[in-house]
A and B are shown apart, each in its own frame.
Chain A
């Protein structure tokens, strides 16, 4: 126990050599290019890394080491008794050098370690030698995908790992990327993978399922990896099949992403500093294809000229001018030329007023990113310290992110058998954004599409001009001005996070090792929304406190601003202990057994407060005393939420390898979690897997195929499960307060959801077959996997007879399968002294099928049964009739809207049963891409290094929000120019209640009032197939040659310039900023960024 004291002592232990010494010197060069390697570690080690790399002649004793200088040269004084030295450098195979004799002027050639052939697979629970690995996983060095100006590592993974679909949710700073590994195994729950940092699962908020929904997109949230600086990350391993993930238990159903952070290396001290300036380009507003002022004026005139389309006679400036001069009828009857010249002028003047919305709402921003790390170590201790600053302003004015990181890692070898380590990751991450109310038409991206092009934001005196057309209802305009709103409101999230990990490992014998790890995570998230009294948000909020009095309307909300705070404290600990037994006997049999326990507990406490009548100068609020407030929860001053969960798990794995060729692996884990209300028979959940692999290239018959350097087949099968904790066999209640009769306030217990004693686990079985093939000394390396996952008994809400007392009950009703393949090919295309070209290509395909599902009878859309979980259903149109009304396909025939929807006089939606309504739809495509992947190329020419990263999506069906509604062409808002073509091609004509044409009124009434299923949104004209390749990063760097470094006394200096997201090739995405966010009216554009920076090592 006393040894634990060392945990808190962070003083590197330095020892000096006392014995007779000799000098060793030499130069370290790389094998491929014969260039000196600066910064390589040259050291003596008493215990060597690796499971059975016992070398003769290595003595116990003082650790001593150095690093090579700019010419790759080193000198080292060592004890005379030392027989060998180790030379290592990142990305190269570590080499042992015999120094028993004279050892000066050595030339040490390091060979590059080929990609995918690093020594071990880090699962977070154990390190498995890759030759023994049986599971499907992908690993990538973050240095290969590092991009400047990217705050979190999730975005960098886009397209880089096979089987891992990473999609940006929005271009907003701090917006997470939605990651799905091998499709979706659930219909209701979160599909986010589990993030693990150095063995500790991270807590954080799930990305909402409908993450582009207007209600979610403007929320600031703290996601699990948001606080981690990508500079601190060494590598990312994604665990995909059951054999890899089952050790993580129930939480790993969606796959696991293991982050391995950087550690100090033995050898001298390294100091690395880097700085980047990145310029976020202003998005190309013209991508939205909106009408300009002149087009808009013409459009309004067109509407005003059509008697049948003038249902909003008082909206839009043209109408306002016509009304002011009492000329509306004159215009409608006799045309523009009949108008008084004064009126004509007034209207024509609007054409010149082109407010540049692109510049009012979006900006070019200059941003910075700095990081500094100090690392090194000796035989007793390695350390890594880093600090980072990331400061980004978004391309949408008013958005941004600032992050400060400090990371500290220290590992001690207290003696030969006992090692302890400590890591602390501390960060503050501040995200800020605009504020939007309940209805998001004040979202800038949305507003930019809708604001009239001639609308001025300030008048000649600089006063705000309120949008006369952004009205709540005909008699109420609460005055919205986007500049005023931006100035007088704020919305920010400050996430402070400390993650700390303590490790201890003890080698009982050579074969038996114990280790234990305690991870603590503290997150303090503070969200604040402030709106001053002069803001639309405040006015809108105040509106909700309106009540009628005999003398007119009154408001109980006090005058002044509104301040809302959400303070969330999250604490978790995760304590796991494992015993590993690894042995080899007869040089043929290798056995690795692990047993372990894990205990985890997390607590979340959230306090939400609201203050009204807030004065930002005095920081005071005014209490609401009016008793009407009691009935309106919008004005609750304080809300508290508390949540605690505990998990206890027991697990074990066993792996047996015969003759280095055949490996069998199995794992089993029991997960227990807090029991309240959970059926006792589901208290512990067994999760298991079996797997095997065959290293074919080790077979003697492969000897004649010298070009095959590696050939291995893998297969695995396993089961995972999950139980829905919200459903209980018992009647669970929550406390509430009610007042049934005046003056009485009583505590009540309200029954929660319907109890269901028959609820079973959700189960997912996974099968994986994989192949690893290395050719030509692994210069070509191919990894392929085929998988089949079937999730049964998926839990979801099912409608039940109302007589049960409930409308819905959670039952096991769904089955979803996912099958697909992944292929990754890494090649060294050219490698000679001056030039090297490597590439990595990966491509994945996943097809999900909902095999069983029950739908609610009242659903308007068809069941997913037999289709993808992301299937898109649409209504097939067949062009337009002579009146511009849409025609449809029904039973192979073209029919009119009247026949298609069974419209007749008085039709109010009830003419179609819900089943008939569902039958209107056809399957048009899969919302998940058919193929996704990425292509990475790196070219090295002398001191230059060019890297091109790209990712692609092939054949994804996307559905856009309609650019206009034919029955509601509003003169008060702007539109995409598509509306100008209404009535041509496939675009339905604009109609009103009395537009000419046979039965036009029926179609109008249908789309305008009674189409409760909103079928217009689902017409196939809004659906398209999307394929694209995005060049996500082009980066050129230049490493200063050694002779210059020498003068500067540096060991490395790199300059780099990078362009991110500069090009997208593929299907057109007209009307939207990016193919990734196609269809979303609310998403912020994905920024184009140009950056320049340097990286300095000494």
Chain B
């Protein structure tokens, strides 16, 4: 009898073993439902980096003083000292982009395994494509040469990773290949995403409008002017409002809850940019401080007649795309196509919302006198004013004229020559150490 009991126990034990061992740890999960994967993608959205902040140091928007706290983290970026920067220098982001790409790849790879509402799955996968495209776009604009159709096929960019594997090589792809991937991802995103416009608070997520705005920006960077105009128009068809600073100056137009917001994802400012830098004379000099309503909204005066940016690390300043950019993309693309009238009209539409009525009248008069070349400069200058401290400047300098820039720091003059090699940032050391292909 006893023997049988034992036999029974042992047998039962064997059969129910897998159940016995099946413990789901609290707080841990293998994502399976669309809700899980949504949380997973939100994780990717929540990874931030200081790329846009650091390029601001590198561009011509700031002036640094040697006695500002923490200056040693930024000084060598400021003076383009890439060869032997101080060990304390902040590193440009690299792994955080690929970390986001890992999340996106995982969602894209497993799209057929995700359970739940198919519309929600499409939306999710579409966003993953768009978010991935955004990472590659930022990577190439930091680390590769600016896009040029003639040379993009030869210019090395960064490795393309579209799925997770262990023990594989990561060779560098050409700039053309990366741009092709970006556009391909955006097309897929466009097909899949079914939310035209995200509501405020969720507008860190990609929407159809955000994808179109992003496409417009990509084409602008590729000098594909007509395509840039078309996609900007497509985005504006969904929503085209501009914040009229004459009526509402309670917030910056770049803030996440401004009527202009299309995507509020990227961090563009930090505690240090708000408190330990001042705005370069070069930048403050291009504003008409009395007529331009942006000036007081963007900047605050400090002693010595200098100004600081009001944008700080607060998440409300997150921004990626907004309607003003579409107007400026259109203006720039039209003028490059020789369509000055359309360009002027697009520029003035934005300017009307930025200047006092009197200021606008003067501005309009001035714009209408410009020839094609002058108009392009005016548009680019307006772009600089509109997007001050918003992470656009370095990329704009790169893709347009790559001008000579001089800065004075600690009594010394530093120059970034026209078309200087240093318009591309060297890939960070920790990435090179781990990947011999770089």
* Closest beta carbon of chain A to B28's beta carbon, Å: 6
Q: Is A5 an interface residue (CB 8 A)?
A: no
**Looking at the complex, which one of A645, A735, A742, A749 makes contact with B23 (CB distance below 8 Å)?**
A645
- Of chain A, the residue at the smallest CB distance from B275 is A548
Given contacts A740-B46, A740-B204, A748-B42, A800 and B84 within 8 Å (CB-CB):
no
Chain A neighbourhood of B20, CB < 8 A: 599, 646, 648
Q: Is B405 an interface residue (CB 8 A)?
A: no
B201 x A738 contact (CB < 8 A): no
B10 x A677 contact (CB < 8 A): no
A858 x B30 contact (CB < 8 A): no
A803 x B30 contact (CB < 8 A): no
Within 8 A of A (CB), among B127-142: none
* Closest beta carbon of chain B to A589's beta carbon, Å: 24
* Closest beta carbon of chain B to A1012's beta carbon, Å: 6
Chain A neighbourhood of B3, CB < 8 A: 508
Q: Is B360 an interface residue (CB 8 A)?
A: no
Given contacts A741-B315, A749-B31, A809-B166, A802 and B42 within 8 Å (CB-CB):
no
Given contacts A577-B6, A748-B43, A858-B430, A741 and B264 within 8 Å (CB-CB):
yes
B161 x A804 contact (CB < 8 A): yes
Given contacts A597-B13, A674-B23, A857-B434, A746 and B166 within 8 Å (CB-CB):
no
A743 x B21 contact (CB < 8 A): no
A733 x B87 contact (CB < 8 A): no
A744 x B201 contact (CB < 8 A): yes
* Closest beta carbon of chain A to B201's beta carbon, Å: 5
Q: Is B305 an interface residue (CB 8 A)?
A: no
* Closest beta carbon of chain B to A715's beta carbon, Å: 32
Within 8 A of A (CB), among B146-171: 158-159, 161, 164-167, 170
Q: Complex Cα distance A833/B281, Å?
A: 105
**Hey, what's the 0/1 contact readout for A1011-1028 against B, CB within 8 Å counting as 1?**
010000000000000000
Chain A neighbourhood of B170, CB < 8 A: 801, 803-804
B9 x A577 contact (CB < 8 A): yes
Q: Is A673 an interface residue (CB 8 A)?
A: yes
Given contacts A642-B26, A644-B25, A741-B315, A801 and B434 within 8 Å (CB-CB):
yes
B43 x A799 contact (CB < 8 A): no
**Looking at the complex, which one of B22, B27, B159 makes contact with A734 (CB distance below 8 Å)?**
B27
Chain A neighbourhood of B159, CB < 8 A: 801, 803
**Looking at the complex, which one of A646, A675, A803 makes contact with B435 (CB distance below 8 Å)?**
A803
Chain B neighbourhood of A770, CB < 8 A: none
Q: Which of A102-110, A755-763, A938-946 contacts B (4 or more CB under 8 A)?
A: A755-763
**Hey, what's the 0/1 contact readout for A709-736 against B, CB within 8 Å counting as 1?**
0000000000000000000001111111
Q: Is A579 an interface residue (CB 8 A)?
A: yes
Q: Complex Cα distance A747/B29, Å?
A: 13
Q: Is A806 an interface residue (CB 8 A)?
A: yes
Chain A, interface size category, equals 35 or more
Q: Complex Cα distance A673/B22, Å?
A: 9
Q: Complex Cα distance A755/B165, Å?
A: 9
Q: Complex Cα distance A805/B106, Å?
A: 11
Chain B neighbourhood of A673, CB < 8 A: 21
- Of chain B, the residue at the smallest CB distance from A802 is B95
B161 x A803 contact (CB < 8 A): yes
Chain B neighbourhood of A643, CB < 8 A: 25-26
Most buried by A among B14, B27, B105, B264: B27
Given contacts A506-B2, A805-B101, A746 and B28 within 8 Å (CB-CB):
no
B434 x A799 contact (CB < 8 A): yes
A646 x B204 contact (CB < 8 A): no
Q: Complex Cα distance A422/B10, Å?
A: 23
Chain B neighbourhood of A747, CB < 8 A: 39, 42
Q: Is A323 an interface residue (CB 8 A)?
A: no
Q: Is A1093 an interface residue (CB 8 A)?
A: no
Q: Is B431 an interface residue (CB 8 A)?
A: yes
**Hey, what's the 0/1 contact readout for A779-823 against B, CB within 8 Å counting as 1?**
000000000000000000001111111110101000000000000
Q: Is B103 an interface residue (CB 8 A)?
A: yes
Q: Complex Cα distance A756/B105, Å?
A: 16
Given contacts A577-B9, A746-B42, A801-B434, A741 and B23 within 8 Å (CB-CB):
no
Q: Complex Cα distance A733/B102, Å?
A: 13
**Hey, what's the 0/1 contact readout for B187-209 against A, CB within 8 Å counting as 1?**
00000000000000111100000
Chain A neighbourhood of B435, CB < 8 A: 801-803
A748 x B201 contact (CB < 8 A): no
B103 x A758 contact (CB < 8 A): no
Q: Is B45 an interface residue (CB 8 A)?
A: yes
* Closest beta carbon of chain A to B208's beta carbon, Å: 19
B31 x A733 contact (CB < 8 A): yes
Q: Is A168 an interface residue (CB 8 A)?
A: no
Q: Complex Cα distance A659/B313, Å?
A: 83
Q: Is A48 an interface residue (CB 8 A)?
A: no
Chain A neighbourhood of B315, CB < 8 A: 739-742
B166 x A756 contact (CB < 8 A): yes
Given contacts A577-B9, A738-B42, A740-B42, A749 and B36 within 8 Å (CB-CB):
yes
Within 8 A of A (CB), among B248-273: 256, 264-265
B23 x A804 contact (CB < 8 A): no
Chain B neighbourhood of A909, CB < 8 A: 87
Given contacts A514-B6, A579-B6, A673-B21, A1010 and B87 within 8 Å (CB-CB):
yes
Top 6 closest A-B pairs, CB basis? A805-B102, A801-B435, A802-B95, A749-B39, A803-B170, A748-B43
Write 8 A-B pairs (CB below 8 A) sorted by A numbering. A676-B30, A731-B164, A734-B27, A734-B28, A741-B202, A756-B166, A803-B431, A805-B164
> Which B residues contact A (CB, under 8 angstroms)?
2-3, 6, 9-10, 13-14, 17-18, 20-31, 36, 39-40, 42-43, 45-46, 84, 86-87, 94-95, 98-99, 101-103, 105-106, 158-159, 161, 164-167, 170, 201-204, 256, 264-265, 314-316, 318, 430-431, 433-435
